[in-house]
Structure 1
Amino acid sequence: MSAVCPNGHTSEAEDYCDTCGSPIDASAQPAPAVAGGEVVGASSSRSSLDLEAPGMPSAAAGAPAEAAPTPTALECPNCKTENPDGALFCEACGYDFTTGAMPRDPAAGPGGLEDTEPDGEAVPGPSSGTSGTSGTSGTSGTSGTSGTSGAGGAPAGAAAAAGGTGPDGAAESFEWLAEVWVDPDWYQTQEAEDPCPSPGLPTIMPLRHRSVLLGRVSTSKNTRPEIDLSSDPGVSRRHAQLTTDGTRWFVEDLGSSNGTFVGPAAGPLPVTAIAVGPKTELSDDDRLYVGAWTRVVVRRATPDEVEAYA
C-alpha cells in the first residue's frame, strides 16, 4: 500500500518519502478507498472462485446431474435383432444366447410339416409319420429300451424329421439321437383333454448339434425346434433345451407351461418338475417327460442308425 508524505508525494515506503525524504506520519494517512467490498490497491492473489459471492453455487455444482444410462438391449449376433436383457433366445431367429448355438435354416424346416394354420402354427403334413401308425402297443415299462429301436423300425416320417445338412450340402454326422415316444401311462397322470394318440414305435431324431431345442413349430415366433413335438398340445413352443459336452447330456427347462420331468426307466413316473433355468444332467437310463403324452429318450446311435440317417 502507498503512503503520502507531508509534501504531497506518493511514496512506496511508509516511513520516509522516497521522493523528498520527508518523514511520513502514519496516523495522518487517508483511509483507503473501498470499491465493491475490496480495498483499492490491496495486493491480493485471490482466485476467481474466491471472488464469487457467498452461497453462490459453482458452475460444476449448478450443472444438471447426468441421467442414469438406460439398460441396453441384448443384440442377437446372428440377425442383429434387439432382445430384452437376460433373454435366453433371440425372439426373431431363435439364436441361443446361453450356448451360442446357431438356429437351423428356416428354409429347411422340420420334415413333414406344413405351415397351414391361420395363426401361423404348423400342423403335421401327410408325410409326418406320427408315432403309432405301425407296430405293437408300447408301454412305459417296455417301450423305453434303448437298444431295440433301430433305423428299420422307425416310422416312415422319422428320416424326414431328422433332416439336417452341412454348409456344403452333405449330411452332418451325429453320434446321438432322441427317441420320441407316446407314453399312455404319462398321459394318465396329466389329465389332458385331448385324446392320446395310439402308442407305437418311436420317432427317431438324430441330434446333430451340441445344443438342441425341444418344442413346437411356430412360424409367427420363428420357432423351429430340432426335436419337434408339435403333435403334443401340452408342449410349449420353447419348452426345454438339451446340451452336451460330448459325453454327457443336460436338460434345461425354458419356463414351459407344464414343466419338464426327469425319471429313470425303472420305477414310478416323476411327479416333480425340474427347476427352470439350471441344467440337470441326464443319467444313461433317464427319460424326459413333457406335454400331455410325450416321453423322450436320449441315447447313442448304433452304427446302422448312423448309416441310415447319414
Structure 2
Amino acid sequence: MTCPAGHPTTATDYCDVCGVAMPAGGSAAVPTPPPSPVATTCPACQAPNVADALFCEACGYDFTTGTMPRRDPVPAPGPVAASASLAPALEGWVAEVWVDPDWYADQESTDPLPSPGLPTVVQLATTSVLIGRASRSRNISPDIDLASDNGISRRHAQLTTDGTRWWVEDLGSSNGTYVGSSVGALPTVPVVPGQKQEVGPDDRIYLGAWTRIILRRAAPGELPA
C-alpha cells in the first residue's frame, strides 16, 4: 500500500512514514505524468521542433505548405566608376590644361578652336589619374575631364606617379597621346598604347584636337588647405 505522498505503508489510517491520512479504499493512485509531445524534425535543416509547430524555429520552413520562406534578393553591388579614386593619395601636384593653337593647327580639326587663355588648373589628388571625357551612361568619371575637346576619348590616357616621376599610358584612344618637349617641334610619334612613357619635367602631353597638359608641383597657397 502507498500513501498519497508515495511512501510504502502497512497502516490503513495514517502513513507509517510521513503520517499523512490514508484515503479510504486503499492506496492512493500515483498520478501519471502527461505524455511528452512528439518532436517534429524539420525536413529542410533537420532541427527538432514541437509537434504542432507551424514554422521551423531554426530556418523558417513552413510545415503547412512545405516551403521555405521567401527571402529578398541581395542587391548586386553597383558598378565602380572608371576613375582613379582607389589609388593612394597624392599631395602637392597639379595639371595645367591648356588650349594650344599650334597643336590645333597641326591636327586640322573641323571643330572650332576655343579662345586660348589662362589654363585650367586641376589638383592631382591620387597617384593614378584618368584623362578622358565623362560619360554618365558608361559610368566614366575622369580625374581630368576634357569634355569640351571632342578629340578626346572617354578613357583616353592614364597618368601614374611615384610621387616624384610621372608616366603616361595611352588606353587605346582614337587619336593617340603624344609627349613632347617644351621647346622644339611638336611631337609626331604617339605613345604606344598599353605602354607607359615617362613624362619629364620639361615635357608636355598633347592629345585631342587642342589640349596640352603640363604636370608640375603646386605653387605655395595654390591648393586648398
Settle same-fold status: TM greater than 0.5.
Answer: yes
CA deviation profile, 1:207-226 (whole Å, cap 9, x unmatched): 00010100001001111101
**Residue equivalent to 1:194:** 111
- Which residue type is aligned with residue 101 of structure 2? P
3-state SS, counterpart of residue 168 of structure 2: strand
Report the residue type matching 2:215 in the other structure. Answer: V
Give per-residue Cα distances to partners, 1:149-199, cap 9 Å, x unaligned: xxxxxxxxxxxxxxxxxxxxxxx8721000000000000011111010110
| Pick aligned residue for 1:93 from 80, 88, 92 | 80
Higher helix share: 1
* DSSP-derived class of the 1:189 partner: helix
Structural mapping, 1:70-81, within 5 Å: none
Q: In the alignment, does 2:147 pair up with 1:256?
A: no
Written as runs of structure 1 = structure 2, the 5 A alignment for 1:234-249 is: 234-249=151-166
CA gap of 1:179–1:231, structure 2 versus 1, over 3 A, is same
The equivalences for 1:126-165 within 5 A come to: none
* Other-structure match for 1:293: 210
**Matched residue of 2:213: which SS?**
strand
Please provide the CA RMSD for this pair: 2.0
Distance in structure 1 (CA, Å) of the matches to 2:133 and 2:141? 7
Aligned residue pair count: 149
TM-score by length of 1: 0.46
Measured in 2, the distance between the counterparts of 1:102 and 1:227 equals 12
Q: C-alpha separation between the residues in 2 aligned to 1:193 and 1:266? A: 27
Q: Distance in 2 between matches of 1:259 and 1:173?
A: 26
Q: Unaligned regions of 5+ residues in structure 1, if any?
A: 1-78, 82-91, 105-171
Q: 1:103 to 1:229 in 2, by over 3 A?
A: farther
Residue 230 of structure 1 deviates from its aligned partner by: 0.4
Whether 1:102 and 2:77 are equivalent positions in the alignment is no
Report if the CA contact (8 A) 1:180-1:202 is conserved.
yes
**CA offsets 1:112-170 (integer angstroms, 9 cap, x no match):** xxxxxxxxxxxxxxxxxxxxxxxxxxxxxxxxxxxxxxxxxxxxxxxxxxxxxxxxxxx
Give 1:102 shift.
3.5
Determine the structure 1 residue equivalent to 2:47. none
Counterpart CA distance in 1 for 2:108 and 2:140 is 27
Query: Does the CA-based 8 Å contact 1:217-1:225 persist in structure 2?
Result: yes
Task: Check whether the contact 2:203–2:214 (CA below 8 A) recurs between aligned residues.
Answer: yes
Q: Secondary structure at the match of 1:186?
A: helix
SS in 2 for 1:303: coil
Q: Structure 1 stretches (4+) deviating beyond 3 angstroms?
A: 101-104
Offset at 1:302? 1.1
- Cα distance change of structure 1 residues 221 and 196 upon mapping to structure 2, 3 Å threshold: same
Structure 1 residue 303 displacement after superposition = 1.2
Task: Tell me the TM-score normalized by structure 2.
Answer: 0.62
User: Structure 2 counterpart of 1:93, which letter?
Assistant: V
Give deviations 1:240-275, integer Å, cap 9, x for gaps.
000101110110000000000000000100011110
Q: Tell me which residue corresponds to 2:120.
A: 203
